[in-house]
A and B are shown apart, each in its own frame.
Chain A
Amino acid sequence: DAKTTQPPSMDCAEGRAANLPCNHSTISGNEYVYWYRQIHSQGPQYIIHGLKNNETNEMASLIITEDRKSSTLILPHATLRDTAVYYCISRKLSFGAGTTVTVRA
Protein backbone atom coordinates (compact mmCIF):
# COMPACT_ATOMS: atom_id res chain seq x y z
CA ASP A 1 0.00 0.00 0.00
CA ALA A 2 1.62 3.23 -1.15
CA LYS A 3 2.11 5.70 1.69
CA THR A 4 1.34 9.37 1.19
CA THR A 5 2.90 12.26 3.07
CA GLN A 6 1.30 15.68 3.50
CA PRO A 7 2.14 18.75 5.57
CA PRO A 8 0.00 18.85 8.72
CA SER A 9 -1.34 22.34 8.16
CA MET A 10 -1.27 25.41 5.94
CA ASP A 11 -2.92 28.80 5.75
CA CYS A 12 -4.24 30.52 2.68
CA ALA A 13 -5.63 33.97 1.98
CA GLU A 14 -9.18 34.18 0.70
CA GLY A 15 -9.27 34.66 -3.08
CA ARG A 16 -5.76 33.35 -3.60
CA ALA A 17 -4.77 29.98 -4.99
CA ALA A 18 -4.09 27.24 -2.46
CA ASN A 19 -1.44 24.70 -3.46
CA LEU A 20 -1.51 21.52 -1.41
CA PRO A 21 1.44 19.15 -1.85
CA CYS A 22 1.48 15.41 -1.44
CA ASN A 23 4.37 12.97 -1.67
CA HIS A 24 3.65 9.40 -2.80
CA SER A 25 7.08 8.14 -3.76
CA THR A 26 6.15 4.44 -3.44
CA ILE A 27 3.08 4.60 -5.62
CA SER A 28 2.86 1.85 -8.21
CA GLY A 29 2.23 2.40 -11.88
CA ASN A 30 -1.46 1.56 -11.86
CA GLU A 31 -2.45 3.30 -8.63
CA TYR A 32 -4.48 6.46 -8.87
CA VAL A 33 -3.99 9.51 -6.66
CA TYR A 34 -7.20 10.68 -5.00
CA TRP A 35 -7.96 13.84 -3.10
CA TYR A 36 -10.75 14.24 -0.58
CA ARG A 37 -11.67 16.88 1.91
CA GLN A 38 -13.49 16.76 5.22
CA ILE A 39 -15.32 19.78 6.56
CA HIS A 40 -15.84 19.73 10.33
CA SER A 41 -16.96 16.20 11.20
CA GLN A 42 -18.86 15.46 8.01
CA GLY A 43 -18.08 12.49 5.83
CA PRO A 44 -15.14 13.12 3.48
CA GLN A 45 -16.02 14.52 0.09
CA TYR A 46 -14.33 13.48 -3.15
CA ILE A 47 -12.49 16.26 -4.97
CA ILE A 48 -10.50 14.83 -7.86
CA HIS A 49 -8.29 11.93 -8.91
CA GLY A 50 -5.66 11.21 -11.53
CA LEU A 51 -3.22 8.62 -12.77
CA LYS A 52 -0.59 10.30 -14.95
CA ASN A 53 -2.06 13.35 -16.60
CA ASN A 54 -3.03 16.57 -14.95
CA GLU A 55 -6.72 16.82 -14.21
CA THR A 56 -9.16 19.68 -13.70
CA ASN A 57 -12.76 19.80 -12.62
CA GLU A 58 -15.11 22.40 -11.21
CA MET A 59 -13.57 22.12 -7.76
CA ALA A 60 -9.83 21.92 -8.30
CA SER A 61 -6.85 21.03 -10.45
CA LEU A 62 -4.47 18.15 -9.88
CA ILE A 63 -0.89 18.33 -11.04
CA ILE A 64 1.04 15.03 -11.00
CA THR A 65 4.78 15.02 -11.54
CA GLU A 66 6.12 13.04 -14.45
CA ASP A 67 7.76 10.47 -12.15
CA ARG A 68 4.44 10.25 -10.22
CA LYS A 69 6.21 10.58 -6.90
CA SER A 70 4.31 13.68 -5.90
CA SER A 71 1.26 15.73 -6.76
CA THR A 72 -0.26 19.10 -5.98
CA LEU A 73 -3.90 19.93 -5.49
CA ILE A 74 -4.73 23.47 -6.54
CA LEU A 75 -7.77 25.32 -5.29
CA PRO A 76 -7.72 28.23 -7.74
CA HIS A 77 -9.61 30.83 -5.70
CA ALA A 78 -9.86 29.74 -2.09
CA THR A 79 -12.93 30.76 -0.13
CA LEU A 80 -13.67 30.54 3.56
CA ARG A 81 -15.81 27.48 2.82
CA ASP A 82 -12.68 25.67 1.61
CA THR A 83 -11.41 25.52 5.19
CA ALA A 84 -11.17 21.77 5.78
CA VAL A 85 -8.86 18.81 6.18
CA TYR A 86 -7.57 17.63 2.80
CA TYR A 87 -6.52 14.04 2.27
CA CYS A 88 -4.29 12.68 -0.47
CA ILE A 89 -4.54 8.90 -0.82
CA SER A 90 -3.30 6.39 -3.33
CA ARG A 91 -5.75 3.62 -2.54
CA LYS A 92 -9.05 3.51 -0.76
CA LEU A 93 -7.67 1.37 1.99
CA SER A 94 -6.14 4.02 4.22
CA PHE A 95 -6.19 7.73 4.91
CA GLY A 96 -3.43 9.60 6.70
CA ALA A 97 -3.92 12.64 8.91
CA GLY A 98 -4.19 14.97 5.92
CA THR A 99 -3.50 18.70 5.70
CA THR A 100 -5.63 21.11 7.71
CA VAL A 101 -6.18 24.09 5.45
CA THR A 102 -7.36 27.33 6.98
CA VAL A 103 -8.52 30.03 4.60
CA ARG A 104 -8.30 33.48 6.18
CA ALA A 105 -10.23 36.57 5.15
Chain B
Amino acid sequence: DAGITQSPRYKITETGRQVTLMCHQTWSHSYMFWYRQDLGHGLRLIYYSAAADITDKGEVPDGYVVSRSKTENFPLTLESATRSQTSVYFCASSESARTGGELFFGEGSRLTVL
Protein backbone atom coordinates (compact mmCIF):
# COMPACT_ATOMS: atom_id res chain seq x y z
CA ASP B 1 0.00 0.00 0.00
CA ALA B 2 1.13 3.54 -0.68
CA GLY B 3 2.06 5.58 2.34
CA ILE B 4 4.69 6.15 4.94
CA THR B 5 5.62 3.41 7.36
CA GLN B 6 7.81 3.39 10.44
CA SER B 7 9.44 0.45 12.16
CA PRO B 8 9.62 -0.69 14.81
CA ARG B 9 6.45 0.75 16.29
CA TYR B 10 7.66 0.00 19.82
CA LYS B 11 11.21 -0.44 21.07
CA ILE B 12 12.73 -0.85 24.50
CA THR B 13 16.48 -0.58 24.78
CA GLU B 14 19.17 0.11 27.32
CA THR B 15 21.40 3.12 27.81
CA GLY B 16 24.42 3.02 25.54
CA ARG B 17 22.96 0.74 22.91
CA GLN B 18 22.61 1.68 19.26
CA VAL B 19 19.09 1.92 17.92
CA THR B 20 17.90 2.52 14.37
CA LEU B 21 14.40 3.64 13.55
CA MET B 22 13.33 3.03 9.98
CA CYS B 23 11.12 5.17 7.78
CA HIS B 24 9.90 4.24 4.31
CA GLN B 25 7.65 6.19 1.94
CA THR B 26 6.18 5.11 -1.37
CA TRP B 27 5.31 8.51 -2.89
CA SER B 28 8.83 9.42 -4.05
CA HIS B 29 8.56 12.64 -2.06
CA SER B 30 11.75 14.66 -2.11
CA TYR B 31 11.60 15.79 1.51
CA MET B 32 11.65 13.62 4.60
CA PHE B 33 11.67 14.65 8.24
CA TRP B 34 12.24 13.18 11.70
CA TYR B 35 10.51 14.70 14.72
CA ARG B 36 10.42 13.73 18.34
CA GLN B 37 7.50 14.33 20.65
CA ASP B 38 7.83 14.20 24.40
CA LEU B 39 4.88 13.81 26.72
CA GLY B 40 2.71 16.91 26.69
CA HIS B 41 4.80 18.73 24.13
CA GLY B 42 4.68 19.52 20.47
CA LEU B 43 6.91 18.08 17.79
CA ARG B 44 10.54 19.10 17.56
CA LEU B 45 12.49 18.59 14.36
CA ILE B 46 15.58 16.41 14.63
CA TYR B 47 16.80 16.15 11.03
CA TYR B 48 15.41 16.58 7.58
CA SER B 49 16.43 15.67 4.07
CA ALA B 50 15.73 17.50 0.83
CA ALA B 51 16.77 14.61 -1.41
CA ALA B 52 18.92 11.51 -1.48
CA ASP B 53 22.34 12.21 0.06
CA ILE B 54 21.22 15.66 1.29
CA THR B 55 20.46 16.01 5.00
CA ASP B 56 20.36 18.91 7.41
CA LYS B 57 20.02 19.48 11.13
CA GLY B 58 16.81 20.54 12.75
CA GLU B 59 16.15 21.93 16.19
CA VAL B 60 17.44 19.01 18.30
CA PRO B 61 20.01 16.96 16.30
CA ASP B 62 22.49 16.07 19.06
CA GLY B 63 22.78 12.33 19.67
CA TYR B 64 21.20 11.37 16.35
CA VAL B 65 22.54 10.37 12.95
CA VAL B 66 20.61 10.11 9.69
CA SER B 67 21.32 8.93 6.19
CA ARG B 68 19.41 8.99 2.93
CA SER B 69 20.99 6.73 0.33
CA LYS B 70 17.63 6.12 -1.37
CA THR B 71 14.78 8.57 -1.84
CA GLU B 72 12.26 6.29 -0.17
CA ASN B 73 14.19 5.54 3.03
CA PHE B 74 15.29 7.82 5.85
CA PRO B 75 16.63 5.89 8.85
CA LEU B 76 17.33 7.59 12.18
CA THR B 77 20.09 6.16 14.36
CA LEU B 78 20.76 6.76 18.01
CA GLU B 79 24.41 5.76 18.23
CA SER B 80 24.47 5.52 22.03
CA ALA B 81 20.98 5.82 23.45
CA THR B 82 20.35 7.89 26.56
CA ARG B 83 17.30 8.03 28.84
CA SER B 84 16.57 11.55 27.63
CA GLN B 85 15.96 10.08 24.18
CA THR B 86 12.92 8.21 25.45
CA SER B 87 10.24 9.68 23.23
CA VAL B 88 7.83 9.12 20.39
CA TYR B 89 9.50 9.58 17.02
CA PHE B 90 7.55 10.61 13.95
CA CYS B 91 8.76 10.44 10.39
CA ALA B 92 7.12 12.57 7.71
CA SER B 93 7.47 13.22 4.00
CA SER B 94 6.52 16.06 1.69
CA GLU B 95 6.86 17.16 -1.88
CA SER B 96 8.20 20.50 -0.70
CA ALA B 97 9.62 22.13 2.41
CA ARG B 98 8.10 25.51 1.69
CA THR B 99 5.32 26.07 -0.77
CA GLY B 100 2.17 23.93 -0.82
CA GLY B 101 3.01 20.31 -0.19
CA GLU B 102 1.55 19.05 3.05
CA LEU B 103 3.39 16.76 5.46
CA PHE B 104 2.39 13.12 5.61
CA PHE B 105 3.22 11.47 8.92
CA GLY B 106 3.90 7.92 9.91
CA GLU B 107 2.24 6.30 12.91
CA GLY B 108 5.21 6.89 15.16
CA SER B 109 7.88 4.78 16.85
CA ARG B 110 7.70 4.68 20.63
CA LEU B 111 11.17 4.32 22.10
CA THR B 112 11.94 3.66 25.74
CA VAL B 113 15.54 3.83 26.93
CA LEU B 114 16.12 2.17 30.30
Residues of chain A at the chain B interface (Cβ within 8 Å): 30-32, 34, 36, 41-46, 49, 87, 91-98
Contact = CB atoms under 8 A, between A and B. Distances in A.
Interface residues of B, number: 27
30 contacts: A30-B98, A31-B98, A32-B98, A36-B103, A41-B108, A41-B110, A42-B108, A43-B105, A43-B107, A43-B108, A44-B90, A46-B102, A46-B103, A46-B104, A49-B100, A49-B102, A92-B31, A92-B33, A92-B97, A93-B45, A93-B48, A93-B58, A93-B97, A94-B43, A94-B44, A94-B58, A95-B42, A95-B43, A95-B44, A96-B42
Interface in B24-63: 31, 33, 35, 41-45, 48, 58-59
Interface of B: 31, 33, 35, 41-45, 48, 58-59, 88, 90, 92, 94, 97-100, 102-108, 110
A interface majority secondary structure: loop
A91 B100 contact: no
Shortest beta-carbon contacts, A-B, top 5: A43-B105, A46-B102, A95-B43, A95-B42, A97-B42
A6 to B, nearest CB: 10
Contacts of A92: 31, 33, 48, 92, 94, 97, 103
A30 B96 CA distance: 13
Contacts of A87: 42-43
A92 B105 CA distance: 12
Given A42-B107, A49-B100, A94-B43, 16 more contacts: A30-B98, A30-B99, A32-B100, A41-B110, A42-B108, A44-B90, A45-B105, A46-B103, A46-B104, A91-B97, A91-B98, A92-B31, A93-B48, A94-B45, A94-B58, A97-B41
